[in-house]
Amino acid sequence: MLRVVSRFAGRPQVTAPFASLTSTATATAATPFTPFTTTRLLSSTSKSNDDKYFQRTSFVHPLSQVVLEYLQAKKGGWLLQQGLDRHLTINPDGSFQLQYANEDPNVNQARIFTTYDRMEAKHYLVVQKGYLNERYLLQDNKASPWHANKKSVYDRIHVSVDELIHAVERVDGLQREKNFSSRK
């Protein structure tokens, strides 16, 4: 299960497992162009069982929400296999970061995240893992909606997520081959 970390006032706060959040999430708008908020259960520092959880509302950008929902609903096994089930951060701007688990603090942490490039006015899904540093277009805010791709926003985002997963699997396969051949 994914664990969510929301950043409020610069301090990360660990929340309940990500899998349990969709049942408690409430959306005030559901279009890809209208922001919405989700209600999350955050674990409390209280020792009382009565105060085990308290609610906090945090903004999740609609494009990030579509990515996260697709990963959870359709690619949950892949998330577990990759070790991405424990470290989800929701940033104040509504973007997210999934960080690979790594016990060695000297190793640069691999991650998958969403970002917005203000110069290009584009939203991206980015993966950084080893030598892999790629970004996948989620939405181009400068493109005219009349001349844009006829696929729905959801379909385009799902394709971007699938392309990212294939790139990670390709690099992981090459790394396994390299490790296997070096043992001979």
Task: Give the C-alpha separation, 42 to 111, whole Å.
Answer: 23
Q: State mean pLDDT over 62-66.
A: 97
Longest dimension (CA), the chain: 58
Spatial distance between the Cα atoms of 100 and 53, rounded to a whole number of angstroms: 26
Q: What is the rounded average pLDDT for all residues in the chain?
A: 74
pLDDT digits (tens, 9 = 90+) for 68-88: 999 999 999 999 999 888 889
Q: Which domain holds residue 96?
A: 3-183
Report angle CA 74, 31, 22 to the nearest 5 degrees: 45
Residue 19 carries which DSSP code? Answer: G
Instruction: Name the amino acid, one letter, at 115.
Output: T
Query: 66: pLDDT confidence band, cut at 50, 70 and 90?
Result: very high
Q: Do residues 55 and 176 lie in contact, with contact meaning Cβ atoms separated by under 8 Å?
A: no
The total number of structural domains in the chain stands at: 1
- At residue 3's C-alpha, the angle toward residues 112 and 170, to 5°, is 30
Q: pLDDT at residue 44 above 90?
A: no
Confidence bin at 63 (pLDDT 50/70/90)? very high
Report the pLDDT value the prediction gives residue 179, as an integer from 0 to 100.
Answer: 77
pLDDT in tens, 89-146: 999 999 999 998 875 655 667 899 999 999 999 999 999 998 899 999 999 998 877 6
pLDDT at position 1: 45
Q: How far apart are CA 39 and CA 138, in angstroms?
A: 24
Q: Which range has highest mean pLDDT (18-32, 39-53, 64-78)?
A: 64-78
Mean pLDDT of 12-16: 41
On the question of pLDDT at 47 being above 60, the answer is no
